[in-house]
Chain A
């Protein structure tokens, strides 16, 4: 018997089993073709309303979700923190309940507090999709990373994937980690000791290291995370320059990278910090393909989640 999607929310990849992740990736593969057609729109979500509830600023994720919703023929409302009553002191739950009272089918939510989408999902009938919550989870980013790796490498099981940068504060690193482990990859987490919690080394198939050569040598995929300048101000590393010298992917460290390794980055890139500009634009970089695939993955997630809402 074929397994079917039954969740009304997508909150974290930790919740999903491997077949659910694969179902999303398989579904996304067909949605990717929609964007390559002459008519780039299907009626799958016609009559459904989606609220993009972005309490933390976001450009690329919001645009990607918005376009995905449009390509599925959904009706869309965008709410940001500054334009919502949250700035007037309304609680998050009250705002969400008000959105639900308008018979909204899906809430796509970005919030700076970890767990905010889980809190809302259990309290509203609408489906909730996590578009990033604090340092907790960013499931659609991880899914687009998995999709890109699977598409390029033909598989995920057994691959060596290195995630380099600010692991401590990164929801992308956490989501990638759960997704990769679930599908059978080996993961190396690398970066300054202040930004890579050693706790992660206790997980089976996870390695922690603080040396760039060790991190990239033998890796099939290198995922570089964005370094936020405020982390330097908080003293996690001495200077952006030093970070870039030690943990930036440079022409020098490229010597240790396998010629068929994929170079990934969730964006936005700090050129010359996480990676050299020529590498970002080089033949091993799949950074823009990640963006293209993000649209397909979000269409798949919206479609699956919307299909499980109860009509009453």
Chain B
């Protein structure tokens, strides 16, 4: 069965947990304790949300602080509407705080082309003018098409063949924590 499956496991739960802790520590170390309260996390729909929740839990475990968070959906800001096989479903954008003069930590599971982050920056700036925007990703797979890089990266994995792509499975959605490499279907990346 294993050979027939086009899915290859790259990282297991243990490595994902370690990556979450690493990223949480990187964020805390950049900001002095007294400025932590001005941080606010925005998870990008939908896989940025479990990562964002885990970062918040980790930061609370380390510092005792409950930081504010929200979700954003980038579908309305995509530049490929009509070019995809199926129209993506719009999920909830919920920013329950004023983002002006805040330090926004954008959170997503993967950084690939950079196009999602480009759209996410548009969404955030439509809501106001944060003092600072930082990007946290669980995994950077290095196939950049836009000049965008992450400020905090859990795992770097640059060796993905062109006919394959990386996906993160989250316990919250798929029932398991895994980073997998799967076949890239044409026209539906």
Contact = CB atoms under 8 A, between A and B. Distances in A.
Residue of A5, A23, A307 with most partner-chain B CB within 10 A: A307
Interface stretch (A34-42, A86-94, A111-119, A213-221): A34-42
B66 interface: no
7 contacts: A6-B86, A30-B73, A42-B77, A44-B75, A45-B81, A48-B82, A309-B82
Contacts of A2: 89
A38 B87 contact: no
Interface of B: 73, 75-79, 81-84, 86-87, 89-93, 122, 126-128
Name the 10 nearest CB pairs between A and B, nearest first: A307-B87, A42-B76, A39-B126, A4-B86, A44-B76, A30-B90, A27-B90, A307-B81, A311-B82, A5-B87
A226 to B, nearest CB: 33
Interface range, A side: 20 to 34
A6 B89 CA distance: 12
B76 A43 contact: yes
A311 B126 contact: no
A297 to B, nearest CB: 13
A303 B77 CA distance: 11
A34 B75 CA distance: 12
A311 B84 CA distance: 10
A46 B75 CA distance: 13
A38 B82 contact: no
Contacts of B79: 43, 46
Nearest to A311: B82
A101 interface: no
A33 B95 CA distance: 11
Nearest to A30: B90
A23 B128 CA distance: 29
Given A37-B127, A45-B81, A309-B82, 16 more contacts: A4-B86, A4-B87, A6-B86, A30-B73, A31-B90, A34-B76, A39-B126, A41-B126, A42-B126, A44-B75, A72-B76, A303-B76, A307-B84, A308-B82, A308-B87, A311-B83
Contacts of B83: 311
Interface in A274-312: 303-304, 306-309, 311
B102 to A, nearest CB: 15
Given A34-B76, A42-B126, A43-B122, A4 B89 contact: yes
A44 B75 CA distance: 8
A81 B94 CA distance: 43
Nearest to A45: B81
A5 B81 CA distance: 13
Given A4-B87, A5-B87, A38 B76 contact: no
Given A33-B93, A34-B76, A306 B122 contact: no
Contacts of B81: 44-45, 303, 306-307
B51 to A, nearest CB: 21
Nearest to A72: B76
Contacts of B90: 26-27, 30-31, 303
B93 A304 contact: no
Contacts of B75: 44
A37 B126 CA distance: 8
Residue of A6, A26, A44, A72 with most partner-chain B CB within 10 A: A44
Nearest to A303: B76
Nearest to A307: B87
B92 A30 contact: yes
Interface in A21-70: 23, 26-27, 30-31, 33-34, 37-39, 41-46, 48
